[in-house]
Amino acid sequence: MNLTPRMAMAGMMAAALLLSTSVLPAKAQTADPAEPAPVEAAAPAPEPPKADIASAVTCQVLIGQFDDSVAAAKVEDAVKASARTLRGEGNKACNAWDYQAGIGSIRVAIETIGRKPIR
């Protein structure tokens, strides 16, 4: 059988194409970009937490008590600094609606400067 140069070239190209597609890993083959990706149904948004007004007021009252008392407290500056840190952590917790943690931190801060929390 006599092969023309065109027929030989076509045969080699077909063989090369066949070999190249069979050697590629599955990851290398990409999906058709015309096909849209499947869309999953979005999960409903979780319900936001409810504000506990009484606890929020308690947080603010205790913060006010601390702020009014810290300057007049007769304790060392290092103790005042650690109490201010506790007050800041308590304020952040209250602002994040974690009232129990916030109230606890602020109460400890007030007791650290030698005062008794009013609530």
Are 110 and 116 within 8 A, CB to CB?
yes
Question: Does residue 63 lie within any of the structural domains?
Answer: yes
Please indicate whether residue 38 or residue 26 has the higher confidence score (pLDDT): 38
* DSSP state string for 25-38: -GGGSPPPTTSPPP
Question: Does residue 78 lie within any of the structural domains?
Answer: yes
Question: Does residue 33 lie within any of the structural domains?
Answer: no
What confidence tens digit (pLDDT) does each residue in 73-83 have?
999 999 999 99
The rounded mean pLDDT for the chain is 80
Question: Does residue 32 lie within any of the structural domains?
Answer: no
Compute the average pLDDT of residues 96-109. Answer: 96
Domain residues for the domain of 72 are 53-112
Compute the average pLDDT of residues 25-31. Answer: 55
State which amino acid sits at residue 70.
Answer: V
Over 60: is that where the pLDDT of 98 sits?
A: yes
State how far the alpha carbon of 84 is from the alpha carbons of 27, 59, 77, in Å. Answer: 56, 15, 10
Question: Does residue 101 lie within any of the structural domains?
Answer: yes
Question: Does residue 58 lie within any of the structural domains?
Answer: yes
Question: Does residue 86 lie within any of the structural domains?
Answer: yes
Please tell me the distance from the alpha carbon of residue 89 to that of residue 103, in angstroms, as a whole number: 10
- pTM equals 0.59
- The total domain count for the chain is 1
